[in-house]
């Protein structure tokens, strides 16, 4: 696949569903969606091995080989519900959205972030960059300043595992390509520089 932006959102949805899958059936369905959005190797006949490996990597119950949460890669320490979780939540809230999983599954799960990227792209397409370019800046931040900082490390961690089933390799590679395409699809210039106009919070202590 070349770096053609995912105009229809089909790949984004497929990847989202893949990483959010609860079982082998969900994986198979998501893989079919990914395949529909671009050529993929044929799916395996039996999804069990993929499911076991998927759970070892992303679900549990043992320690995860590649936790699918940005806070694990970006925060000063690998933990759930860290700063990155709050930031992703804040991006969503800025455009009036929230995760249906809020509070139980960290908002910075890769599937939620894929959905958020999709929402931001749709907003960009329908609403435009915003009067001062705020929406464009938000999207640029989220894709280039947030996802691009951790998704490649996440993908490396996945692909660094031994004997990975094909669908996981495919989905992870597609995720890397998706990110490249999404970055390339960002407006060449984010327009005005809203960051300078943003009122800054005081840096006082957090103690009320």
Partner 1 sequence: MSGWDRTRMERTLENGVTRRGFLKGLALTGAAAAAPCLLLRALSADANQRFGEGYQVFRNACPRNCYDTCSIKSYVKDGAVRFVEGAPESTYTHGGLCVKGNSYVRYAYSPDRIKYPMVQDGRGTGRWKRISWDEAMDRIAKKILELKQQDGSLLGLALTKYSGNFGITNYGVEGLMSSLGYTTRLVGTPCWPAGIDAQNFDMGNMWCNDPEDMTQSRYIIIWGANPAWCSVHSMKYIYAAREAGAKIVVVDPVLTQTAAKADEFWQVVPGSDGALALGMCRHLLDLGLHDAGWLKANALGFDAFAAYLRENVTVEWAAKTSGVPAERIRAVAEEFARAKPATIWIGYGMQRHVNGGASVRAIDALVAMTGNIGKVGGGARYGHLQTWGFNYHAMIRKPPEGSKGFVGAAGPKGEFDFAQGGAAVKYTDRALNINKTAQEILDAKDPAVRMLWVSCKNVLSQDFDRNKLLQAFKKLELVVVADHFFNQTVEQADIVLPVTTLFEEWTVNVSYWHYWLSLNEQAVKPLFESKSNIEIAAALSKRLNELAPGSCTFPTQLDTREWMEKEFNKKVYELFGIQSWEDLRKGPVKARMPQAAWSDLKFGTPSKKYEFTSDLCAKNGNNALPVYVEGRKPYDKLRLLTPHSKFNIHSQFQNLDWMMGFNPAPVVYVHPAAAAERAIKDGDTVRVFNKTGEVRLTARLTANVARDTLLMYEGWYKGLAFNCQNLVDDTPADMGKFKTGAPGVAIHDQFADLVRA
Partner 2 sequence: MAKRLAFLVDAKRCLGCFTCAMACKNQYATEPGVNWREVYPLQADIYPHHERAFYSLACNHCEKPACLEVCPVQAYSKREKDGIVVHHQEKCIGCGNCIRSCPYGAPRYNPVEKRAEKCSLCHERIDAGLQPACVQSCPVAALTLIDLAAGEPDNSVQFPPGYPKMPALNPATRFRQAELPIIHRREDI
Residue 1 CB, nearest distance to partner 1 (Å)? 20
DSSP string over 105-134: S-TTBHHHHHHHHHHHHHHHHHH-S-TTSH
Q: How far apart are CA 65 and CA 59, in angstroms?
A: 9
Q: How far apart are CA 15 and CA 110, in angstroms?
A: 9
State which residue, 62 or 76, has the beta carbon closest to partner 2: 76
Which residue's structure tokens are 């995760």? 99
Which residues, numbered 56-75, are part of the site for partner 2 (CB under 8 A)?
75
Residue 77 CB, nearest distance to partner 2 (Å)? 4
Residue 130 touching partner 1 (CB under 8 A): yes
Q: Is 49 helix (H, G, I), strand (E, B) or coil?
A: helix
Q: Is 96 helix (H, G, I), strand (E, B) or coil?
A: coil
Residue 104 CB, nearest distance to partner 2 (Å)? 21
> Residues, the chain, total?
208
Q: How far apart are CA 59 and CA 57, in angstroms?
A: 6
Of partner 1, partner 2, none, which one sits near residue 75, judging by CB under 5 to 8 A according to partner kind? partner 2
Which residues, numbered 42-61, are part of the site for partner 1 (CB under 8 A)?
48, 51-52, 55-56, 59-61
Residue 167 CB, nearest distance to partner 2 (Å)? 31
> Site for partner 1 (CB under 8 A): which residue of 91, 147, 155, 158?
91
Residue 208 CB, nearest distance to partner 2 (Å)? 8
Tokens (6 digits) for 94: 């800025």
Q: How far apart are CA 197 and CA 206, in angstroms?
A: 24
Residue 191 CB, nearest distance to partner 1 (Å)? 6
The count of chain residues that interact with partner 1, using the rule CB under 8 A, is 84
Q: Is 57 helix (H, G, I), strand (E, B) or coil?
A: helix
Which residues, numbered 74-113, are part of the site for partner 2 (CB under 8 A)?
75-79, 82
Region binding partner 1 by CB under 8 A among candidate stretches 31-39, 79-87, 152-160, 176-184: 79-87
State which residue, 45 or 208, has the beta carbon closest to partner 2: 208
Tokens (6 digits) for 194: 């809203």
Tokens (6 digits) for 118: 């999709």
For partner 2, the binding residues (CB under 8 A) are: 75-79, 82, 204-207
């Amino acid at each position: 696949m070349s770096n053609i932006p995912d105009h229809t959102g089909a790949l984004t949805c497929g990847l989202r569903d893949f990483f959010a899958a609860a079982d082998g059936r969900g994986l198979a369905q998501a893989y079919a969606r990914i395949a529909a959005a671009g050529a993929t190797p044929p799916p395996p006949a039996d999804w069990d091995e993929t499911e076991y490996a998927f759970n070892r990597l992303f679900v549990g119950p043992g320690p995860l080989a590649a936790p699918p949460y940005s806070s694990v890669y970006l925060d000063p320490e690998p933990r759930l519900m860290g700063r990155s979780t709050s930031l992703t939540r804040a991006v969503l809230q800025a455009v009036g959205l929230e995760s249906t999983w809020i509070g139980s599954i960290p908002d910075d799960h890769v599937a939620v972030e894929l959905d958020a990227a999709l929402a931001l792209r749709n907003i960009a397409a329908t609403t435009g960059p915003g009067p001062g370019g705020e929406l464009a800046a938000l999207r640029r931040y989220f894709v280039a300043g947030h996802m691009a900082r951790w998704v490649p490390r996440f993908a490396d961690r996945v692909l660094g595992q031994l004997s990975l089933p094909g669908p996981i390799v495919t989905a992870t590679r597609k995720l890397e390509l998706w990110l490249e395409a999404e970055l390339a699809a960002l407006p060449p210039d984010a327009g005005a520089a809203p960051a300078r106009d943003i009122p800054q919070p005081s840096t006082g202590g957090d103690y009320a």
